[in-house]
Amino acid sequence: MIIGVPKEIKISENRVGMTEAGAKQLTLEGHTVIVEKDAGVGSGITNEQYEKAGAKIIDTKKEVYAKADMIMKVKEPLPDEYELMKENQILYTYLHLAAEPKLTKVLVEKKVKAVAYETIQLPNRSLPLLTPMSEVAGRMATQVGAFYLQKDHGGKGILMGGVTGVKPAKVTIIGGGVVGTNAAKMAVGLGAQVTILDVSTARLEYLDDIFKGRCQTLFSNAINIENSVAESDLVVGGVLITGHKAPTLVTKEMISSMQKGSVVVDVAVDQGGCIETCRPTSHTNPTYEVDGVIHYCVPNMPGVVPRTSTYALTNVTLKYASMLAAMGVEDAVAKDASLMKGLNVYGGYVCYEPVARDLGMEY
């Protein structure tokens, strides 16, 4: 199979869909890997490194899409790439289609075989291809929150850990999954006072155990969220209902109840966000204010730490890329139920139920 790796074009997206080690493995397995010129530069991987690993460097994105049987990338295709995709081409990448009705329509019309990293799900319900990027984004959420809480960055001017004799910042994390846990690890590490809310009592028990009393756990309901948000300096949104658009849990009124110069980081923005006032931003213009509260809602947070993220991502994507390349989509998903959950569009239909339901499309 010919596997194409285009250069990412989302703003400040420096990750790449395959490392040189991935190119070497797939080449050794008998496939041809074609990489768009300079696709890896943002992640510190040169064209020469890909060539040494057996890949071919191709000058244009158009050529990569035209030649490849499978496109392997990081973020969803953007409008400039829509016309480049072709019928029966396998598209293996993050898609987040519940928040992307236009792209979904294109994939359906073009009969692309679209496998979404974020919905591949193991029998224990974990999402192995989302996990490493959620670790990165969760850890960044606290880092970014601390940055914008500084007065010189528009914040109220508070140090996360406080100092001796002075209170630390209060941090509320909504959703105690991978994003939430990693955001909490960093916030606790900085000495902040942290509350994590989740609807899963099993998850709250787990968090209580691992943080050994250094984090408050709270059941997620409207009243607990309202109270916790009102007194927080930093709110991190990290909820997920797999495949669905994120539920709105923090209302505009709750945002208005926060002190001016407070910060919200809605990591769940890629699924539509769990904060009512959330709208997607980009790394070049990452924040805006609502009622004096700074909002940071970048859907590709890991894109600016590519030397960490590219390697963490491809550690987990390669296994399934290998299966798709060796067997084709049909046999690969028939063999592996986890991969089957990743198939979002096939043969002109949405075939992942939560996406079809959220977008009101035929399933």
Binding site for ligand NAD (CB under 6 A): 118, 130, 133-134, 137, 174-180, 197-200, 203, 220, 238-241, 246-247, 249, 267-271, 298-302
For residue 69, indicate whether it is catalytic.
no
In the numeric block, the tokens 């797999």 are attached to: 242
Rank residues 1 and 196 by Cβ distance to ligand NAD and give the closer one: 196
CB of 348 to ligand NAD, least distance (A): 26
Edge-first strand order for the sheet with 263-266 is: 215-219, 193-198, 170-174, 234-237, 263-266, 293-296, 287-290
Rank residues 115 and 269 by Cβ distance to ligand NAD and give the closer one: 269
Rank residues 134 and 314 by Cβ distance to ligand NAD and give the closer one: 134
What is d(CA 181, CA 167) in angstroms, rounded to the nearest whole number? 23
Rank residues 133 and 258 by Cβ distance to ligand NAD and give the closer one: 133
Residues making up the chain, counted from first to last = 363
CB of 34 to ligand NAD, least distance (A): 27
Nearest residue to 47 via CA among 7, 92, 91? 7
Count Cα neighbours of 189 within 13 Å in the Cβ-side half-sphere: 10
Give residues with Cβ within 8 angstroms of 358, minimum separation 6: 98, 243, 244, 245
Alpha helices in 110-175 (DSSP H): 131-148
96, 233, 266, 295: which one is catalytic? 96
At residue 140, φ and ψ (nearest 5 deg) are: -65, -35
Lookup: tokens for 251? 């209302």
Rank residues 156 and 203 by Cβ distance to ligand NAD and give the closer one: 203
CB of 29 to ligand NAD, least distance (A): 29
Q: Find out whether 121 and 338 touch, Cβ atoms under 8 Å.
A: yes
CB of 223 to ligand NAD, least distance (A): 13
Residue 353: Cβ within 10 Å count: 11
What is d(CA 320, CA 339) in angstroms, rounded to the nearest whole number? 7
What is d(CA 77, CA 85) in angstroms, rounded to the nearest whole number? 9
What is d(CA 328, CA 266) in angstroms, rounded to the nearest whole number? 36
CB of 88 to ligand NAD, least distance (A): 28
Nearest residue to 4 via CA among 36, 43, 30? 36
CB of 144 to ligand NAD, least distance (A): 11
198, 233, 266, 270: which one is catalytic? 270
What is d(CA 95, CA 84) in angstroms, rounded to the nearest whole number? 16
For residue 295, indicate whether it is catalytic.
no
Rank residues 147 and 328 by Cβ distance to ligand NAD and give the closer one: 147
CB of 95 to ligand NAD, least distance (A): 11
Nearest residue to 232 via CA among 188, 171, 184, 173? 171
Rank residues 22 and 132 by Cβ distance to ligand NAD and give the closer one: 132
Q: Find out whether 71 and 89 touch, Cβ atoms under 8 Å.
A: yes
Looking at beta carbons, which residue is closest to ligand NAD?
177
Enumerate the active-site residues: 96, 270
